[in-house]
């Protein structure tokens, strides 16, 4: 996925809308399956238990979460927690790729 597509994707999310202009985009984003583990951000997103329960009750796959080139999650914390809660082993994620210099 190209940076403009990631910006468009993020701009539709209310919680990110104000941050879109501040995001340092990668040259490219790769779609990967990310293993659900014990990430430090869960303490924050885990506070909205109602939203996580609602998401976890869905039987469909979640839209991909998004990470920048430094591993910072730009979108998808609640989806990540919900996927973990319902027992999913992985979640789709767009991960920013740094430009290679020769």
Residue 17, pLDDT > 50, answer: no
Quote the DSSP letter at residue 74. Answer: E
| 8 A C-beta contact, residue 1 and residue 71 | no
Report the length, in residues, of the chain: 102
Question: CB count, 10 Å around CB of 80?
Answer: 25
Q: What is the pTM of this model?
A: 0.70
Q: What is the pLDDT of residues 29-82, one digit of tens each?
A: 889 999 987 655 555 555 678 888 899 999 999 999 988 887 778 888 889 889
| 35 class by beta-carbon count within 10 Å (0-12 exposed, 13-18 middle, 19+ buried) | exposed
Q: What are the residues facing 15 on neighbouring strands?
A: none
Pairing of strands 73-75, 90-97: unpaired
């Amino acid at each position: 996925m190209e940076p403009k597509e990631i910006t468009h994707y993020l701009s539709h999310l209310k919680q990110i809308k104000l941050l879109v202009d501040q995001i340092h985009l990668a040259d490219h984003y790769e779609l990967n399956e990310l293993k659900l583990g014990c990430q430090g951000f869960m303490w924050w997103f885990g506070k909205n238990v109602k939203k996580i329960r609602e998401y976890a009750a869905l039987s469909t796959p979640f839209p991909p979460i998004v990470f920048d080139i430094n591993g910072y999650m730009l979108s998808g914390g609640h989806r990540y927690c919900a996927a973990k809660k319902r027992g999913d082993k992985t979640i789709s994620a767009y991960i920013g790729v740094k430009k290679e210099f020769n």
